[in-house]
Chain A
Amino acid sequence: MKYNKSKPIFSSYQKNSNLFDEIFDENENVRPTYKKILELYSDHSIQDFASLNEKAKASFFNQGITFQVYSDKKAQEKIFPFDLFPRIIEAKEWDTIEKGVIQRSKALNLFLWDVYHDKNIIKEGIVPIDLINTSANYLHQMEGFDPPGGIYNHISGTDLIKHSDGKYYVLEDNIRCPSGVSYVICNRNALKRALFGVFNHYEIHTVTDYAENLLEMLESVKPKGVDSPNCVVITPGVYNSAYYEHCYLAKSSGIELVEGRDLFVENDFVYMKTINGPEKVDVIYRRIDDLFIDPLEFRKDSVLGVPGLFAAYKRGNVTLVNAPGTGVADDKAIYTYMPQIIKYYLNEEPILNNVHTYHCSKPEDLKYILENVDKLVIKPVDEAGGYGISIGNRLTKEEIEKVKKAIKENPRKYIAQPIMSLSVHATYIDETSSFEQRHVDLRTYTLLGQDKEFVLKGGLTRVALQKGNLIVNSSQGGGSKDTWVLKK
């Protein structure tokens, strides 16, 4: 009955039964979590929605919550598209996610400590040495160094998807400079402004407590001998695509936003140049990649960094968040060992699923892979950025033979994973002025400090706005949704 009532808005909603729809179950009934909101939304017509959508877009634009797109030498400002239909996650479901991402972050932290100290996990043959020493993100300079509080990956962004079996799988752990958290808060604000009426029907966890937890975490990893640490955020500058986020983080935590040229090092301490002279800096949340933080130690041509910063760090006079060298633990090859890594350090079973990985170097896996190329994604282990990936069901017969040949020639070079099907969510599409199914994923944000752990109860639901597209990245035309975590 209720489904009929919601017809004006969902009248042209087409359901592909092969996909897991977060709102409608396989019998086309509205899932219990979404019943109320659909009922409320049914008061709106599609025109109402179109106009709210326009207003929300204008609000993002006016607030300058934008990123730059460069084409034909001209910079254009674009908003990160935002969808007015929220994604809702039940308390119980969230509980698993939260425990799972904390478990992963902790395990990765212990893994990093081990890799930069005794390397036991490698000596015991659980993770192959090649994965470490061939990684461009492994920093020899970090060997034997104890980061303050013993923390490497203070901030982790974990990318999860819901597969057609209705279970969450982790796709990637981002522990260098995961971005996007500011959009979580912006999305919530925008949705509150547009559809305030629906909020009092759901008990939703707030997302505005991220900043205070971030600051608490930063303070918890202060250098030895500092009472009340001076924390800053360092940004590459106003032209960086994530500059809005850097501002947001500094502003909401009440700390200074600096650029490399605002800082200098003297006697291995870091200072910022203020109108009243130098002021010591103790903790730096850096949004600059490892190789750019200090031109005297890493890339000489970096103008973003601070000469001498790394020496100050190694002397223990300043803390860098995240620690340099964390990148070694977030590449594809390490990902495939996550279940073993969790087991090794925590003696626990992984709470969240990894996407199963077949190693072409193992004979039994190889046999399966060669027989099932059309059902698998084949990835080279050492390429980054999506290069060289073959998606089995999109290949022609000849292409499949080519892939098989390449694997047989160099089995060590490839891994294979089942083709994951991202769940779909009702998303308002401008072009057709209607709701349509679009693939979504979820990025969660975890903070690890000394005696501190925190997961933002929300996260960024990213939407692939192009029909059928599985890539949710913002540079590839992705949007996002407000993500509600229910209190009960």
Chain B
Amino acid sequence: MSLHYRIKYKSKNTYENPVSEAYWQFLVTPENNETQEVLYSNFRTTVDARIENSINGYNFETTRIHCKKPFDKICFEAEFRLHKKDINPFGFSPIFNNLLDYNLTENHSFKVEFDNFLKHTELTKLPENIKTIHKFNKEFTVFENLNNLNNWVYNYLQFKIGVTKVNTLLKEIVVSKQGVCQDFSHLFCAISRENNIPARYVSGYLHQGNGYFGDSQMHAWVEAFLPNIGWIGFDPTNNILVNHNHIKVCHGKDYNDCPPIKGIIYASGKNETTHSVEVSQQQ
């Protein structure tokens, strides 16, 4: 069975002083992959500006906007329609051989191959004193360990909006024990990497019809690499495996590789940005 979704992404920017020229780069278009296919996409702004599709440095599709006429307020609106396969999160072949799997992760070539997603970044660095806060138990399979980690992160942090920012470090998060999906995902990545399992940060949309946590903004989760199987999605904010409600946009080492909006503004003074996301399912 396949599901149809309609996604509306809106962003409104207001500036204290008129902006003479500006560039924006949006990283909000769902990717095409095995489980999802974009059928329609449309991008609009309230000012007279050029809209182009391009890519970012990691080859994910971006929308670039260049505005040369002065303005002090600008709204963006993106609309996507896509269909998504109804996937069984446990649908991968369930053969696990613990010893072989763990051996593989110890292998030098494996470490080199996945270095990007094993090495800590500024945002996924665990403070020295709690590096071993959650150790994997090699009695269990890699998948079981990751599932436990998902559960552990979910219980460890309390979902709360407004406590953290996109650049809040883990050392602060583990003290306040509160945060949003970015923080849940960064903590998951950090611990998974600490246990030698490659993990990458994923940015996307969540269909919230089922009472999941997220917010009316973009969602974040994690993909971890299971030896001999591949990348599997975990959503620690909701303690679930990634399913047909998760619509992926892009992945990276951490949030910094996936910011939904980047802007270069030629103006002085303060500015304010608000975003909203609406995901609805269609029959």
Contact = CB atoms under 8 A, between A and B. Distances in A.
A308 B54 contact: yes
A315 interface: yes
A264 B264 CA distance: 14
B52 A300 contact: no
A123 interface: yes
A130 to B, nearest CB: 10
A123 B58 contact: no
Nearest to A142: B57
A119 B116 contact: no
Given A300-B262, A311-B54, 4 more contacts: A129-B112, A264-B66, A296-B264, A311-B56
8 smallest A-B Cβ distances: which pairs?
A141-B57, A307-B23, A311-B54, A123-B109, A296-B25, A297-B57, A122-B112, A123-B112
19 contacts: A119-B112, A123-B113, A125-B108, A133-B119, A140-B57, A140-B253, A141-B58, A264-B66, A267-B52, A268-B54, A296-B23, A296-B25, A296-B64, A307-B64, A307-B264, A308-B54, A308-B64, A310-B57, A311-B54
A117 to B, nearest CB: 12
A347 B113 CA distance: 25
Residue from the set B50, B59, B112, B116 with the largest chain A CB neighbour count within 10 Å: B112
Task: Give the interface residue-count category, chain A.
Answer: 20 to 34
Contacts of A122: 112
B262 A296 contact: yes
Interface in B110-152: 111-113, 115-116, 119
Contacts of A8: none
A236 B61 CA distance: 29
B196 interface: no
B55 interface: yes
Interface of A: 119, 122-123, 125, 129, 132-133, 139-141, 143, 264, 266-268, 295-297, 300, 307-308, 310-311, 314-315
B198 to A, nearest CB: 13
Contacts of B115: 129, 132-133
A297 to B, nearest CB: 5
A141 B256 CA distance: 13
A297 B264 contact: no
Contacts of B111: 129
B62 interface: yes
A289 to B, nearest CB: 16
A311 B52 CA distance: 12
Interface centre among B57, B62, B112, B113, by most chain A C-beta atoms within 10 angstroms, is B57
Interface in B52-100: 52, 54-59, 62, 64, 66
Interface in B26-66: 50, 52, 54-59, 62, 64, 66
Contacts of A143: 116
A1 to B, nearest CB: 66
Interface string B236-262: 000000000000000001000000001
A296 B112 CA distance: 29
A102 to B, nearest CB: 29
Contacts of B54: 268, 308, 311, 315
Interface string B203-236: 0000000000000000000000000000000000
A139 B56 CA distance: 13
A140 B116 contact: yes
Contacts of B57: 139-141, 297, 310-311, 314
Nearest to B110: A123
Contacts of B23: 295-296, 307-308
Nearest to B62: A311
A264 B59 CA distance: 20
A315 B55 contact: yes
A141 B56 CA distance: 9
Contacts of A264: 66
A310 B57 CA distance: 7
Given A140-B253, A297-B57, A266 B119 contact: no
Given A119-B112, A296-B25, A266 B52 contact: yes
A266 B25 contact: no
A344 B108 CA distance: 18
Contacts of A307: 23, 64, 66, 264
Nearest to B107: A123
A296 B27 CA distance: 12
A454 to B, nearest CB: 31
B213 to A, nearest CB: 30
A311 B112 contact: no
Contacts of B25: 296
Contacts of A310: 57
B218 to A, nearest CB: 19
Nearest to A310: B57
A129 B50 CA distance: 43
B59 A314 contact: yes
A141 B54 CA distance: 15
Nearest to B50: A266
Contacts of A133: 115-116, 119
Nearest to B59: A314
A349 to B, nearest CB: 27
Nearest to A119: B112
Nearest to A300: B264
